[in-house]
Structure 1
Amino acid sequence: MNQQQNSFRRIVTGHDAEGKAIIISDAPPTHTQLVGGPGGPTFFEVWHTQATPALIQPQPDEADEKSLVLPPPKNGTRIRVIEFPPEGEEIRRLTGADAAAKFRAMGDEKASTSAAGAPHPLMHKTETVDYGIVLEGEMTLVLDRGETVIKAGDIIIQNGTNHAWANRSGKICRMAFVLIDGHFAS
């Protein structure tokens, strides 16, 4: 099996010296390992964090949430799949108040960072580490300083950065997200 043929991008976000969201790296994962020789599986180590103990129940059940909640529970995680339709003019014309209302509907109005001159009206920031995986389609990841187009198979590691998702492809984009509660280092 040709490893290059099956490679994907790992986009890691972070902050510059002024605290603005930037892309730290955009490349295939650097640590890969073939296990068991030819014909064995190849492990692509994408990312890890050093802590977050999860309580593992013997009989887990559905979380008791009655509405959409953007961030994960405190000290918890959340996984979700989102289908993003193509972005239209109605999104590009959103005001700060409109954006805040959209995030309020997602259970986290304070995540909205919409402001005049922002690179996208739905800029937002959460105190989480998020893993975003493009399942199908393509999406533009917009940061304070820069943007990149991501496609099926690409993985984004979002480290509490201010960002927005812009589907400029003209087709539905489906992404899976794993959100991990965090806190900003001082």
Structure 2
Amino acid sequence: MNQQPTSFRRIVTGHDADGKAIIISDAPPVHTQLVGGPGGPTFFEVWHTLETPVIIQAYSEEPAENGLVLPPPKNGTRMRIIEFPPEGEEIRKLTGTDAASKFSAMGDEKASTAAEGAPHPLMHRTQTLDYGIVLAGEITLVLDRTESIIKAGDIVIQCGTNHAWANRSGKICRMAFILIAGQYAGDLA
């Protein structure tokens, strides 16, 4: 079974000196990172914005990145593709400290909500609204009190809830995520 991440094109458009639409770049994403070593997910950082509404430039430069960061910039957005390999025992046996370390490698240790008795060791929560779209394969969305298997074509609107992704399928699952910076209301904070 091939567990190597596959590549895809990222096409960025812009405007020429006459204001006409052009393609600025057509290549795989520049920033790719395997998280947690062999058996961990591969993150393909596609693009991010620093604010909304987005200031549209004639010629958009590659957004600067200082390593992998789980949430989008404050008031910004982030798009990424993640390839989740099948989940093995090494994931199921993670301790809270191990989980915090995994999220630290993603630039957001405080996102980890791992605790004794949690439904999954990689439970986490961020102040974001996320659109998660399964492109290939299937994965289980794990929440505090329920789970749901989602398959290719399914979309999850993840509203700042405590969750984890568990690939129990035996095959790689590829998902697209669009993350939008948010803020918890009242008692959700």
Is 2:74 the partner of 1:94? no
TM-score (ref. length: structure 1): 0.71
- Aligned pairs, how many? 135
**Residue pairs, 1:49-68, within 5 angstroms:** 52-68=52-68
Distance (Å, rounded) in 2 between the aligned partners of 1:134 and 1:144: 21
Alignment of 1:13-162 (within 5 A): 52-162=52-162
The amino acid across from 1:137 in the alignment is G
RMSD: 0.7
Q: Supply the distance in 1 between the matched residues of 2:90 and 2:117 (Cα, whole angstroms).
A: 17
- For residues 55 and 93 of structure 1, the distance between their equivalents in structure 2, rounded to whole angstroms, comes to 45
SS at 2:67 equivalent:
coil
Q: Distance in 1 between matches of 2:118 and 2:169?
A: 21
**What is the TM-score with the length of structure 2 in the denominator?**
0.70
Partner SS state of residue 168, structure 2: coil
Which AA in structure 1 matches 2:89? E
In 1: Cα distance, 2:108 partner to 2:58 partner: 31
Q: Cα deviations across residues 72-105 of structure 1 (Å, max 9, x unaligned)?
A: 0010000000000000000000000000000000
Partner of 1:18: none
What's the offset of the Cα at 1:152?
0.1
Is 149-158 or 53-62 further displaced after alignment? 53-62
**Percent identity over paired residues:** 76
Q: Which has the higher contact order (CA 8 A, sep 6+)?
A: 1
Q: How does 1:1-16 map to 2 (within 5 A)?
A: none
Q: Give how far 1:66 is off.
A: 2.6
The amino acid across from 1:107 in the alignment is: G
1:148 Cα deviation after fit? 0.2
- Deviation above 6 Å: which 4+ runs of structure 1? none
Letter in 2 for 1:124: H
SS in 1 for 2:101: helix
Match of 2:23 in 1: none
Whole-angstrom CA distance in 1 between matches of 2:149 and 2:173: 12
